[in-house]
A and B are shown apart, each in its own frame.
Chain A
Amino acid sequence: MFLKQKIFAIIASGALIVLISVLIKRRRLREEYALLWLATGVGILALVTGYPALVWISKLIGAVAPTTTLFLFALLFIILISISFSVRFSRLADQMQAVITELAFLRKEMEDLKQGRASGSG
């Protein structure tokens, strides 16, 4: 792996970790959503700085160059993050459906109460 590639990968993963940390600190991103992103940054950083490990993994998975392994892992992390978001969206959709249903019933009950009160007072 060329020094330039190494420096670029370290800067990119370091920037990702800093960005996620700042977003958590400013309460723009909740910790549970940040975990996979942080894991991505830390994972890439670990692979680049622990170069022998990167070479060993590359041989293990049959990658021609260590940079290919890096890209592969980055891609895997992105796929994992997408799946994690799909799971969360599915849960959110179910929760939203339940809330809207309950809201519909509350509205109906409130309207019935109001109507009852109006006819009682009239």
Chain B
Amino acid sequence: MIEDAVIIVPAFNEGAVIEDTLAELKKFASRVIVVNDGSRDDTAAKAKKAGVFVASHCANLGYGAALKTGFTAGLRYFKEPFFITFDADFQHDPSYLESLLGPLRRREADYVIGSRFLAGEAPALPLARKIGSRVFSIATSALIGQKITDPTSGMLALGRKVARVFAGQLFPLDFPDADVLVMLSRMGYRIKEEAVEMRPARRPGSMHAGILRPMYYIAKMSVSMVHFALRRDLKEQRREMESVS
């Protein structure tokens, strides 16, 4: 049982799967935060019934904002040194939580990505997503000078210092993934990938579904990555943030 990490689960209209996800998760970790991002279904009620910490947005703000609330709650209400982000749709396998925490506990990294592309067989993704993921993997690797195989993974582990970045002003609120890696790398945080396997999501649909949203995602992510790559004040921002805490 993991006692030194808080698991953050952003959830939007996950009423159909949240009970199973939390029941399985609670076998591995005792501290769980569910951020109900303005769901219109019974996500919040089911999460409360599962006995976890539930913070409910009164309006839907999106994945990044839900993560930000999760990290703010984690820093404010919990003392544990580590955090892990975990999807509510049953896609993430909690048996990998321990291996994600390994590099943090051994102080080998400040930020650990659960990569779907390191564990033998490549995951079955739609072609467009596979291409998108590969393009962002190449771009991120080039920008940070380190090979990153899965920059869009939502299964992440980090310590309290990085969590403060996630709860602060710098954290992008729309689809934070590859741009966050560029930001953290420019701030001087050490990034590592660990192999994880993911299951097909039990809930149909994705936040990248449709035509306009993926186009917006690609445009926004590209601008955001270049923006962080060009910023020269990020190490200074880190120093300021760590001197306050």
Contacts and interface: CB of A to CB of B under 8 A. Distances in A.
Interface of A: 93-94, 96-97, 100-101, 103-105, 107-108
Interface in B50-66: 53-59, 61, 65
A101 B169 CA distance: 13
Contact of A108 (B54, B59, B65): B54
Contacts of B73: 104-105
B76 A105 contact: yes
Given A104-B69, A105-B73, A108-B53, A97 B61 contact: yes
B35 to A, nearest CB: 8
Interface string B27-54: 0000000010000000000000000011
27 contacts: A93-B173, A94-B169, A96-B61, A97-B61, A97-B65, A97-B173, A100-B57, A100-B58, A100-B61, A100-B65, A100-B69, A101-B55, A101-B57, A101-B65, A101-B69, A101-B72, A103-B57, A104-B35, A104-B55, A104-B56, A104-B57, A104-B58, A104-B69, A105-B72, A107-B55, A108-B55, A108-B56
Interface residues of B, number: 17
Contacts, number: 38
A58 B35 CA distance: 58
The secondary structure that dominates the B interface is mixed
B70 to A, nearest CB: 10
A104 B57 CA distance: 5
B92 interface: no
Contacts of B57: 100-101, 103-104
B68 interface: yes
A101 B35 CA distance: 10
A97 B35 CA distance: 13
A17 to B, nearest CB: 37
B58 A97 contact: no
A100 B59 contact: yes
A96 B35 CA distance: 16
B8 to A, nearest CB: 13
Nearest to B53: A108
Nearest to B69: A101
Given A100-B65, A100-B69, A105-B55, 5 more contacts: A97-B173, A104-B57, A105-B72, A107-B55, A108-B54
B117 to A, nearest CB: 32
B33 to A, nearest CB: 10
Contacts of B65: 97, 100-101
Task: Kindly list the 4 A-B residue pairs having the minimum CB-CB distance in the complex, ordered from nearest.
Answer: A104-B55, A101-B69, A97-B65, A100-B57
